Amino acid sequence: MSAKQEDLTVPRHIAIIMDGNGRWAKERGLPRTEGHRRGADSVQEIVESCGQLGVKYLTLFAFSTENWKRPKAEVDSLMKMLERFLKQKTSEMMKQNVRLQAIGRLHDLPESCQNQLHKSIETTSQNTGLTLIFALSYGAREEIIDGIKSLVESVEKGHLDKGMIDAEVFSKHLYTRYYPDPDLLIRTSGEMRLSNFLLWQMSYTEFYITSVLWPEFRREELLEAIRDYGRRQRRYGGVGDI
């Protein structure tokens, strides 16, 4: 059933904290890598569903700056999985008219992973459907620090007068400067925290928390999150209807 048929209020931009891969695997006596593999299947289905529903931007928190602290074997496996996912799915992104983008300290990624990421981004750059944004080696505090450094540099070089700095100007120095702020944040596995994700951009974002673990989060769970979003009244600090 399409969004139009069901009369859904579809968010322009959805952000997702994909949590629960390890827990899903542990509950089944499987290695964590199997949880990540199954989580990749959820990524594929959610990307396809968002494109079909008319979502314009989808940001997935794929790998945080804190994730580098995990055991080296797990990190290496995740990087290889990411590289393999990009190689295998770029052709599908082309068929689905998906444009791939990425935010974060991408230079921290292994060189081969960076190369494949840039190749996939370039290949899909002319697509006009869903913009899929992978947050990789991403941390919101790090993003804000990098934004401050960029702002200071602009002032020091005479490109910007410090008296002109406001929230809008600062936003243009963040990784997300080319994208609108998220309308809806989905977090799986029931955790009630932002985990250093898009702290600046979430000022007026609606939150949807589900106990469903990411490897089991599929189209129907996405639709339920969108239905819940449609029942909200977004006031942006105003009074709204009472």
What domains are defined for the chain? Answer: 7-139+181-230 (3.40.1180.10)
Q: Write the secondary structure of 76-143 as one string of H (helix), E (strand) and C (coil).
A: HHHHHHHHHHHHHHHHHHHHCCCEEEEECCHHHCCHHHHHHHHHHHHHCCCCCCCEEEEEEEECHHHH
Look up the pTM and report it. Answer: 0.93
The answer to whether the beta carbons of residues 173 and 164 sit under 8 Å apart is: no
Annotated catalytic sites, by residue?
19, 67
Query: Taking 70 as the threshold, does the pLDDT of residue 238 lie above it?
Result: no
Query: For residue 38, which of 221, 217, 225 has the smallest C-alpha distance?
Result: 217
3-class DSSP assignment, residue 202: coil
Distance CA 94, CA 144 (A): 33
Residue 117 reports pLDDT greater than 60: yes
Q: Is the pLDDT of residue 235 over 90?
A: no
Instruction: Give the tens place of pLDDT for each residue, 12-41.
Output: 999 999 999 999 999 999 999 999 999 999
> At residue 207, what is the residue type?
F
Task: Give 82-101 pLDDT, tens digit per residue.
Answer: 999 999 999 999 999 999 99
The two structure tokens encoding residue 43 = 């990524």
Per-residue pLDDT band at 7 (split at 50, 70, 90): confident
Mean pLDDT of 72-84: 95
Mean pLDDT of 99-104: 98
